[in-house]
Amino acid sequence: MLQFQTTGFNGYAVKYSPYIDSRIAVGAAQNFGLVGNGRVYVLELTSQGILCPKFYDTQDAVYDIAWSEANENQLLAACGDGTVKLFDVNVAHQPIAQWSEHSREVYSVFWNQVTKDNFVTSSWDGTLKLYNPERAQSLLTLPTHSCTYSTEFSPHSPSIISAVTSDSHIRIFDIRIPASAANHLVHLIPIHGPAPTLANINTRANPLGPRPPPSECLTHDWNKYRGTILATAGVDQIIRTFDLRAPRAGAVTLMSGHRYAVRRISWSPHNSDLLLSGSYDMSVKLWSDGNAMSDASMVTPNLGRELGEMGAHTEFVTGVDWCLFGSQGWVASTAWDQRLLVWDARTIIT
């Protein structure tokens, strides 16, 4: 297990470069993100350990980062003051571009992985914004009317944007459909389950007990192999997967085991069933949602399986990411204990 100390800054996000196997970035904030500055670390994995050739200070906390999919030297930072900053590794200290359109904290940023020419941000102000890095203004604003903790493009489509919000819903936007009163919204899926009706109250047996109340959803991720599957997690500690082919069917899989809210989840880029999660219970857990197993139950929702736990972090875990390169299974995690850990997820499988 490799380690890097982000002294003075509590980690909020970690991302492997999609281009360079030894490059990794960490977004962090002073004072646990309550007040103070932020910092973006650009780190190199070397035979001497993890080195920090570059870092960028920001006025406000950095809550999320995203590498450019189009330029191996550029990365984005989502900041607490509502700005999104684009940094270039070859340019010291200052961002090469900045967008100040959100009125409150920007909680997530995600680069389009298909067309690679735009990116999307989400904010506490209840909007998503779509940007082209070469344009000074955002291209599109999608309202969610709720604090939006996480947004992503589908890895299989350049025009499908997902977001999860404080109001316990998944929103799926398709920017190909014409703008109408629905603002490109095609699905609005209640994460805590559909409202009970006479028809489903008995048939929709939930193995984890009665229908949970709505709770804030903090993170989500698209499965990299099954284009209609995405996973969500948040304050109610349960990781759920949903199949967009049946948006009203409720969760396909429930993964329960974290003892506090789940802050970040990430599907494996190598296996269609593996999912990594970081939680406020200070642990990182590895899950299988069971779809690769032949005995997968036809009854939904079925329960995923916890494969292992990494407990080295000593504060809330806020960022996890998989390495795309090398031997499959290397991951990075960051936490409020001011440490970045790089480790092999295969070693924790029990």
Q: Least distance in Å: CB of 102 to other proteins? A: 13
Q: What is the DSSP string of 52-92?
A: EEEEEEESS-EEEEEE-SS-TTEEEEEETTS-EEEEETTS-
For 333, phi then psi, to 5°, come to -140, 145
Helix, strand, or coil (residue 206): coil
Four-point Cα dihedral 320, 322, 328, 330, nearest 10:
-50
Q: Least distance in Å: CB of 223 to other proteins? A: 16
Nearer to other proteins, 24 or 160 (CB): 160
Nearer to other proteins, 3 or 314 (CB): 314
Strands 97-99 and 253-256: unpaired
Nearer to other proteins, 268 or 279 (CB): 279
Q: Residue 21: how many CB atoms within 10 A of its CB?
A: 14
Nearer to other proteins, 200 or 228 (CB): 228
Nearer to other proteins, 18 or 82 (CB): 82
Q: How far apart are CA 117 and CA 133, in angstroms?
A: 7
Are 211 and 221 in contact by the 8 Å Cβ rule? The answer is no
Name which of 8, 2, 71 is nearest 41 in CA terms.
8
Footprint of other proteins (CB under 8 A): 10, 31-32, 34-37, 104, 124, 146-147, 149, 160, 166-169, 172, 174, 177-182, 185-190, 195, 214-216, 228, 235, 244-245, 247, 259-260, 282, 311, 314-316, 336-337
Q: Least distance in Å: CB of 78 to other proteins? A: 15
Report residue 284 as tokens: 């990182």
Nearer to other proteins, 103 or 206 (CB): 103
